[in-house]
Chains A and B, each alone.
Chain A
Amino acid sequence: MSKNPLLDGRRGERHLLLGNEAIVRGALEAGVHMISCYPGTPSSEVPDTFRRLGGEGRYRLEYSVNEKVAFEVAAGGALGGAMSLVTMKHVGLNVAADPLFTAAYTGMPGGLVVLSADDPGCHSSQNEQDNRAYARAAMLPCLEPVSAQEAHDMTREAFRLARELQQPVLLRTTTRVNHMRGPVEFDDLPAAQPLVPFERNPGRFVPVPAVARKRHAAVLDIMEQARALAESSRFNTERAGNAATRLGIIASGVARNYLADALTAGGWDDKVRVLELGMTWPLPEKRLVAFLEQCDRVLVLEEGPALLERDVRALAQREGCKTRLEGKTDSLTELGELSTTLLLRRLAEFLDCPCPVKGGNAQALELPGRPPNLCAGCSHRAVFHAVRQLFGDDAYYSSDIGCYTLGMLPPLKCADFLVCMGSSISAGSGFARASGKTVVAFIGDSTFFHSGMTGLANAVFNRHDIIVVILDNGTTAMTGHQPNPGMVQDMLGENAAHLDIEAIVRAMGVSSCRKVRAFNLKAVTSALEEMRAQTGVRVLIAEEPCALYARRQLKKTQPQVAMVKEQGPDAAHCLETLACPAFYRDGEALAVDESLCTGCMVCLQVGPKSFKARRRDV
């Protein structure tokens, strides 16, 4: 193994790091003992980097089966005295919300840091929820880095606070911060940090009602201590361009970046005083009030909902501040992401200056789209094709979270509704019961372990009527091939054990269960035909490794590729119903791009007259 600066780097070195890598280095410098996670964009590179590094015995990493479990493992670790980090995407914290709220009550003596990677703009998510709200609701100190250096520094600070206060700390990032790269200055890695020995105290750690009532008061005290720390936190900074100005801006989160760039671009640095919040909960109220009192007008800038704005308004009202407060408007909304241009426009209004933003210089053109698509050789495409040919629009398709959500696109059209991760079986059950329609639910292997198993148990228990297709590609494909319990033992290594999906399904009492190769269209189709004639819970397990995973990790490539042997309506039909990205038009003729074709040979089964196999040119 070559040396990696994340493990071997020394004090004073500077390296260009991804925000998520900077979090890893910060955690290592704090002395993290345990990391648990469920992967999800944009958080995944944190555990994946820990995995790549191996750790040389410094820490223990696990990919848990879902975020609730990951949180509970980390909480147990922190109760057992370890500095623990648990990572997930924003919607994952909903799954983990139950242990989150209670962990905040009992406290976590070893130190627990919760990374929530939010996704404003929905780059890879089903919503734009803002998890600063969890810091407020569950009572956790919250830090929000906006540069790679801060991602590093604040992760260290989060562990320091987590141990000092014994309160879980929320490290809240957004996509642009997780996936930015910037220079990070290192400190040395410490010697192994001591565990905090667990002292039995059921009166604190077992939150029966009498204990919980007492702990609620204790947590309020702890949060007041955290507030005192926020008052003097080095991550909350103030500057006044011009001592006389009575105009102020309070900025938090990634808005701090856009603000800095907009002030520079507008040449307005002298016109305002600025309070930047990096430790964003609890609020440093004294500092905020002192700032408000220096200003006649204050603009609050934050991406997403007006949480800070509402809190500052409430604080100003309580303290009798006469400052006029401004925030979200019709042009600076709660939707999506901010930008420097948006802030230039808003600041021009606020400062009553001409806006330097010129109109667009290129008209938006009508161009052919390039939506994300299932890869060439993706086994999901084969199964979706077979399902659509057999059921067409007669069935309703309950989808789930994974690459296979892309099955919604024509011509496959295999997603009619989706509630959340792990919902396909349970939501499909409810839909079938209410509508009386045939429902086919699709779920991937990792999502099945995440929270599909409980839905399946429920479907059997409550005698629901549903066909479940488990798309088992042997990995967690969408987020970058992280381990899951269904993965073959060889790829899991000795720290994890393989679980057999078919055995689980049968043990849950599903009698109609078939396992087929996804690329064998005849087998997929005949199994589904058999299931169509039955009632109750039916499960088809369609196995085939993810094409990218097969090539990159399993090092498997097919020696053959497909080619068109006969043009005509049969070939055109295959193109129109399968829509494999390896197909292209060469003038009027249909052809297969050898560099994209993985040799799955599904097109040969769809159009046997039109396609044949040939050896791959090397």
Chain B
Amino acid sequence: MSTDKQKRMRIYFTGVGGQGTLTATTLLARTAMDAGLDVVAGEVHGMAQRGGVVESVLLLGGWRSPKLDFGEADVLLGFEPLETLRGLPYLRAGGAVFSSADPLPPLSVSLGGAQYPSMEEVEAQTRRVAGQCHFVPCRELGLKAGSAQAGNTVLLSVACASGILPFGVDALEAAIGKYLPPKLQASNLKALELGMAALRI
């Protein structure tokens, strides 16, 4: 059981600066550490955060390198669908994808110079390489739970509930209780429930 628990896994997170993907990465890292797993997380701060792409990784079970190359991630957590699509090369063949389905168009699209791919296109491309994938209206559910940021917890909840991670939603729930400030607890616990419900649909 314990060796199974230390199963090696590499998770790639991607989103947009300001969304809170690094906070979500740290929360999942703490969840994993409290579940007794070997944990290394990696992130990049600085210039990229000004509305650019923000990537981070979480390594479980003994991996040491906090930077992934193409084809190395077992799981991709996309907090924005265009970034999920951009991050797909990082996924190994047959890996799992959990993604927000709520677009945040980049400025090039807002200015009318570029076209945002349709959600059908994003999902079709994802299905081509992923063993399983789930697209969830995270922003919408997050707002329902209390804030757009709570949408990140919706996505973490979906991933935990899928059974693919070496810990479940109960571990995430405990980490929310232990590590998030009291004023954010209610919305994040609500988001957790909405995430579980979204997976059942």
Contact B41 A370 (CB under 8 A): no
Query: Are A182 and B112 in contact, CB atoms less than 8 angstroms apart?
Result: no
* Any B CB within 8 A of the CB of A217: no
* Given A181-B26, A339-B69, also A362-B64 (CB < 8 A): no
Answer whether residue A147 sits at the interface, using C-beta atoms and an 8 A cutoff: yes
A176 lies within 8 A of B111 (CB): no
B111 touches A403 (CB 8 A): no
Kindly name the residue among A175, A176, A181, A363 whose own CB sees the greatest number of chain B CB atoms within 10 A: A181
Choose, from A205-213, A315-323, A418-426, A581-589, the stretch at the interface: A581-589
Q: Are A367 and B92 closer than 8 Å at their CB atoms? A: no
Bound-complex Cα distance A270 to B137 (A): 48
A372 touches B17 (CB 8 A): yes
**Binary contact track B84-120/A, C-beta < 8 Å → 1, others 0:** 0110110111000000000001111111101111000
B109 — which chain A residues lie within 8 A by C-beta? 368, 585
- Given contacts A16-B29, A361-B92, A579 and B107 within 8 Å (CB-CB): yes
B46 touches A124 (CB 8 A): yes
Q: What A residues does B48 contact at CB under 8 A?
A: 123-124, 372
Are A575 and B64 in contact (CB-based, < 8 A)? no
B88 close to A362 (CB less than 8 A): yes
Q: Given A264-B62, A368-B115: A183 and B33 within 8 A (CB)? A: yes
Q: Interface stretch among A188-196, A255-263, A501-509?
A: A255-263
Cβ of A618 within 8 Å of any chain B Cβ, yes or no, is no
B35: A residues at CB distance < 8 A? none
* Whole-angstrom CA separation of A579 from B13 in the bound complex: 28
- A202: B residues at CB distance < 8 A: none
Q: In the complex, are the beta carbons of B30 and A16 less than 8 A apart?
A: yes
Q: Cβ of B193 < 8 Å from any Cβ of A?
A: no
Please give, as numbers and ranges, the residues of chain B lying within 8 Å of A124 by CB-CB distance: 45-48
**A-chain residues with CB within 8 Å of residue B63 when the two chains form the complex:** 261
Most buried by A among B86, B91, B110, B117: B110
Q: Are A370 and B51 in contact (CB under 8 A)?
A: yes
The docked-state distance in angstroms from the alpha carbon of A124 to that of B40 is 22
Q: Of residues B82, B89, B128, which shows the largest number of chain A Cβ atoms within 10 Å of its Cβ?
A: B89
Q: In the complex, what's the smallest C-beta–C-beta distance from A87 to chain B, in angstroms?
A: 15
Beta-carbon contact of A362 and B67 below 8 Å:
no
Pairwise interchain contact B108-A369, C-beta atoms closer than 8 A: yes
Q: Which residues of A contact B70 (CB under 8 A)?
A: 341, 360, 362
Q: How far is the CB of B38 from chain A (nearest CB, A)?
A: 8
Q: Which of A384-431 contact B (CB under 8 A)?
A: 403, 406
B39: Cβ under 8 A from any A Cβ: yes
Residues of A within 8 A of B47 (CB): 41, 123-124, 372, 478
Given contacts A341-B70, A581-B107, A585-B112, contact A370 B16 (CB under 8 A): yes
Interchain CB contact under 8 A, A362 and B72: no
Choice from A256, A369, A406 contacting B106 with Cβ under 8 Å: A369
Please determine whether A181 and B110 come into contact, CB atoms closer than 8 angstroms.
Answer: no
Given contacts A258-B65, A357-B71, A370 and B52 within 8 Å (CB-CB):
yes
Alpha-carbon distance A123/B70, docked complex (angstroms): 18
Q: In the complex where A257-B65, A339-B67 touch, is A373 in contact with B107 (Cβ < 8 A)?
A: yes
A583 and B110 within 8 A (CB): yes
Evaluate contact between B46 and A42: CB separation under 8 angstroms: yes
Is the Cβ of A576 less than 8 Å from the Cβ of B46?
A: no
A-B contact pairs, 27 of them (CB 8 A): A16-B41, A41-B45, A123-B48, A181-B41, A183-B39, A257-B66, A260-B65, A337-B67, A341-B69, A360-B71, A360-B89, A361-B71, A362-B70, A362-B88, A362-B91, A368-B82, A368-B114, A369-B106, A370-B52, A370-B82, A370-B107, A372-B17, A372-B51, A375-B51, A581-B107, A584-B110, A595-B148
Q: Which residues of A contact B20 (CB under 8 A)?
A: none
Per-residue CB contact flags for chain A residues 244-271 toward chain B (1 = under 8 Å, else 0) read 0000000000101110110010000000
Would you call B132 an interface residue if the criterion is a C-beta within 8 Å of the partner chain's C-beta atoms?
A: no
Question: Are the C-beta atoms of A147 and B40 separated by less than 8 Å?
Answer: yes
Q: Is A342 an interface residue (CB 8 A)?
A: yes
Residue of B nearest to A357 (CB): B71
List chain A residues, Cβ under 8 A from B65: 254, 257-258, 260-261, 339-340
Residue pair B51, A581 in contact (C-beta under 8 Å)? yes
By beta carbon, the residue of chain B nearest A584 is B110
Distance of A148 from chain B, by nearest CB (Å): 8
Bound-state CA distance A146–B17 (Å) is: 26
A interface residues with partner B (beta carbon < 8 Å): 16, 41-42, 44-45, 123-124, 146-148, 175-176, 179-183, 254, 256-258, 260-261, 264, 337, 339-342, 357-358, 360-365, 367-375, 403, 406, 478-479, 575-576, 579, 581, 583-585, 595
Residues of B within 8 Å of A258, CB to CB, are 65
Q: Does B44 contact A (CB under 8 A)?
A: yes
Q: Is the CB of A179 within 8 A of B43?
A: yes
Residue from the list B43, B91, B108 in contact with A181, Cβ < 8 A: B43
Sorted nearest first, the 9 A-B pairs with minimum C-beta distance are: A124-B46, A41-B46, A368-B114, A339-B69, A372-B52, A341-B69, A181-B41, A257-B64, A370-B106
A584 and B105 form a contact (CB under 8 A): yes
Whole-angstrom distance between the Cβ of B130 and the nearest chain A Cβ: 9
Cα–Cα, bound, A587→B15 (Å): 24
Q: Which residue of B lies closest to A572 (CB)?
A: B112
Residue B53 at the A interface, CB < 8 A? yes
CA of A575 to CA of B111, assembled, Å: 7
CA distance A339 to B71 in the complex (A): 12
* Cβ–Cβ contact A374 & B50, under 8 A: yes
Q: Decide if B62 touches A371 in the complex (CB within 8 Å).
A: no
| Contact call B105/A176, Cβ cutoff below 8 A | no
- Are A179 and B42 in contact, with the CB atoms below 8 A? yes
Q: Which residues of A contact B108 (CB under 8 A)?
A: 368-370
* Complex alpha-carbon distance, A374 and B50, angstroms: 7
Looking at the assembled complex, report how far the CB atom of B70 sits from the nearest CB atom of chain A, in whole angstroms. 5
Picked from A16, A181, A340, A583, the residue with its CB within 8 Å of the CB of B69 is A340
Q: Which residue in B40, B53, B71 is a CB contact (below 8 Å) of A341?
A: B71
A373 with B39: CB separation less than 8 A: no
Binary per-residue interface labels of chain B (134-146) against chain A in the complex, 1 for a CB within 8 Å, 0 otherwise: 0000000000000
- Give chain A residues whose Cβ lies under 8 Å from the Cβ of B148: 595
User: Which residues of chain A are near B49, meaning CB under 8 Å?
Assistant: 372
**Docked complex Cα distance between A369 and B8 (Å):** 32
A128 to chain B, nearest CB (A): 15
B29 touches A181 (CB 8 A): yes
Tell which of A257, A367, A403 touches B117, judged by Cβ atoms closer than 8 Å.
A367
10 other contacts beyond A124-B47, A179-B44, A364-B89, with CB at 8 A cut-off? A45-B45, A123-B44, A175-B44, A261-B64, A339-B65, A362-B89, A368-B106, A368-B108, A479-B46, A579-B107
Choice from A175, A339, A479 contacting B68 with Cβ under 8 Å: A339
Contacts of A375 in B (CB 8 A): 50-51
B contact residues around A357 at 8 Å (CB): 71
Shortest CB-to-CB span from A99 to chain B, Å, is: 26
Instruction: Assess whether B199 is interfacial by the CB under 8 Å rule.
Output: no
Contact status A340-B41, CB under 8 Å:
no
Q: Is B171 an interface residue when CB atoms closer than 8 A count as contact? A: no
When C-beta atoms are compared, the residue in chain A nearest to B34 turns out to be: A16
